[in-house]
Amino acid sequence: MSNIDTRLNVSPVPPDEIFALNGAYAVDTHPQKVSLGVGVYRTDDGKPWPLPVVQKAEKALVVEDDLFRHEYTAIEGDVPFLGIARDLMFGFEGKQSEEDAKARIGSVQTVAGTGANHLGALFLAYHMKPTNVWLSNPSWANHQTIWELAGVPRKTYPYYHAATRSFDFEGMMSSLESEAQEGDVVLLHACAHNPTGLDPNKEQWVAIADLCERKKLFPFFDSAYQGFASGSVEEDAWAVRYFFNNKPDMEMCVAQSFSKNFGLYGQRVGAFHYCNNRASVSIRDVVVNNLCHLIRGEFSMGPRVGCTIVKKVLNSDELTADWHEDLKVMSSRIKAMRKALYNELVRLQTPGTWEHIIQQNGMFSYTGLTPKQVYALKDKYHIYLLKSGRASISGLSQKNVAYVAQAIDDVIRNES
């Protein structure tokens, strides 16, 4: 390094674990290899599943042959899409009138959920200057990177109780109650918590909302799995809608992704919604204006093709009904694979308790496996999951679930 002539001050950063794991899986030639790392939906044959409703929309768009389909949109994005995305997220079935509710929300298009999280973090760092952002322990690893790059100090609140493999509600509330300061941001997963698969129940969500309101904390929702987690877009948006409708004097925001629920992983479809309190609706357009200032300097406007597909589907009652059926297909298969893995581990009398696998929700399971056990699964059985023990349930199938369960049983018994 001493012979390199450069003005750069750079040091190696650790590779992203998920993408590194996926790369190792890709070059593995073992016939029984299993990928439980990357968070994408797979069929029981282990193949990608372009949603049938998305394929219908794509065919219709080809026939329409819109001459403007590759043109620029606005800096805030495709405006009709933003209205659809907002309505899907918030529902507007609360006590406020629909017009008043919509007047509180400023929306812009983003580069998927990651872009929405990043834009929101940057906007708050510039214009609210929070002392800290509170992330769950554990959380999606990219949350740490996003807020680090935004320059906001990160703190964590307890979320996972390892001994019981359950949501640590008491730990979360106690930590935020005693340590969080007025104006701090609290990052909340709207549903299907990544990586644990553990969500607060509705009573707990109510208590979290009350705490945020009382301590004047700023809720930042990351909604990556609406409709994918339970099969119901209403159920998966319950927490966001409760906060918005029942705490109208509290500001909040939502990062919304369409990667999982439409299977548009590579199309990067997302939105960011800033919710003013009901006394500040007059500044909504100023908020959007400032968000656009950041967008213009970073990527000018959101991608067009993916949001056009979403817009095509959700503007049609028939296609929307088809989409709801596709969501049920995906969520049902995930639930079935959870049950199948649990049944196999029980049949094998694998040491430990495994009820958490079927109690968790969404794409991921925090299995409780140790890093040593995870490495053993990869080295001996060619089964790939994160060193934290997080497994992507969509990588399981009727063909490999018994193999995976037997491998887990083996590495646990050999370690004990």
Residue 77 is given by DSSP the state: B
Q: Check if the beta carbon of residue 396 is closer than 8 Å to that of residue 337.
A: yes
**Of residues 49, 168, 199, 260, which has the active-site annotation?**
260
Q: Check if the beta carbon of residue 169 is closer than 8 Å to that of residue 216.
A: no
Tokens of 354: 């495994």
| Residue 140 is among the residues annotated as catalytic for this protein | yes
**Of residues 222, 236, 322, 409, which has the active-site annotation?**
222
CA–CA gap between residue 416 and residue 412 (Å, rounded): 6
**Helix locations, 222-316, DSSP H:** 233-236, 238-246, 284-298, 305-314
Q: Would you state the torsion angle of the CA atoms of residues 178, 181, 182, 185, taken in this order, to the nearest 10 degrees?
A: -110
Nearest Cα residue to 119 out of 300, 307, 260: 300
| Residue 65 is among the residues annotated as catalytic for this protein | no
CA–CA gap between residue 238 and residue 276 (Å, rounded): 19
Tokens of 414: 């050999």
CA 247 to chain centre: 23
Q: Check if the beta carbon of residue 285 is closer than 8 Å to that of residue 19.
A: no
| Residue 323 is among the residues annotated as catalytic for this protein | no
Nearest Cα residue to 36 out of 399, 364, 380: 364
**Of residues 134, 140, 205, 354, which has the active-site annotation?**
140
CA–CA gap between residue 134 and residue 220 (Å, rounded): 10
What 197-201 contacts at long range (C-beta under 8 Å, 24+ apart), as own/partner pairs, is 197/360, 197/361, 197/362, 197/363, 197/364, 197/365, 197/366, 198/159, 198/160, 198/166, 198/167, 198/359, 198/360, 198/361, 198/366, 199/167, 199/361, 200/167, 200/169, 200/239
Annotated active-site positions, please? 140, 222, 260
